Amino acid sequence: MAVVKVENKTYTADSLYQWDKNQVLEIRGLSLAFIPEIHFTNTAMDKALVRQATMDAAGVITVDVPNSLLQKSYKITVFICTYEGDAFRTLYKLEIPVKSRPQPADYTFEDDGREIYSFNALENLVHNAVNDLQVQYRGFTAETEKQVAAANTEAKNAETAAKDAEAAAKDAEAAAKAAQNAAAAEVEKAILKSDIVEIVKVSELPESPAENVLYIIM
């Protein structure tokens, strides 16, 4: 049994052990006009298990703790609620610490028709969701790596093409200079072999060119 005495705003009950069964929560110190409805939950749940409490003449409230909530060592949160006509109100919030321990070999899972929440189902859902996310992440990572590799290859190819173009331009420039030098050498040889005694740079040929003169139009 877990007992909580509500006084001085301290609402933490006696602790229970994981794998305990058929435990009862006893709440003292409240003065309620109506027998409350108790909601049990923990941090792994998005809903609460509902139990109808009993209350004796001294105002002591007792309620069964769901066995499924003791299958894990999560702190149990308890909400004390009441109906007053059509109005529903949550009055108090309590906590029951659950101490971890190994599962007994003779522990049997029982379904009394009220255990509407399955931790195993929850864990399976979480496990499957994590696996799906991991698969999606691996697929995303693999595709991203392919795209990065393709981009790197394109960048390297572009760099190689640019270097090849630069080398070709340098080769063309060298070839042009070599051709120019060769032509100049041939002109010089021709001049030496001829009777030309003077070289004159002009913008156009004169009407009466002089003999033995080489005119170069600039």
pLDDT of residue 79: 92
pLDDT of residue 3: 57
pLDDT of residue 116: 41
pLDDT tens-digit profile, the chain (218 residues):
655 556 555 566 778 999 998 899 998 888 888 888 999 999 888 889 999 899 998 889 999 999 989 999 999 999 999 887 778 889 898 889 999 999 988 887 765 545 444 454 455 566 567 767 877 777 777 778 888 888 888 888 888 888 888 888 788 788 878 877 776 676 666 666 666 667 777 777 777 777 777 766 66
**Global pTM exceeds 0.85:** no
**Residue ranges per structural domain of the chain:** 2-111, 118-193
The top-level CATH class assigned to 2-111 is: mainly beta
SS (H, E, C) the chain: CEEEECECCECECCCEECCCCCCEEEEECCCCCCCCEEEEECCCCCCCEEEECEECCCCCEEEECCHHHHCCCCCEEEEEEEEECCEEEEEEEEEECEECCCCCCCCCCCCCCCCCCCHHHHHHHHHHHHHHHHHHHHHHHHHHHHHHHHHHHHHHHHHHHHHHHHHHHHHHHHHHHHHHHHHHHHHHHHHHHCCCCEEEEECCCCCCCCCCEEEEEC
pLDDT of residue 161: 83
pLDDT of residue 120: 47
pLDDT of residue 149: 83
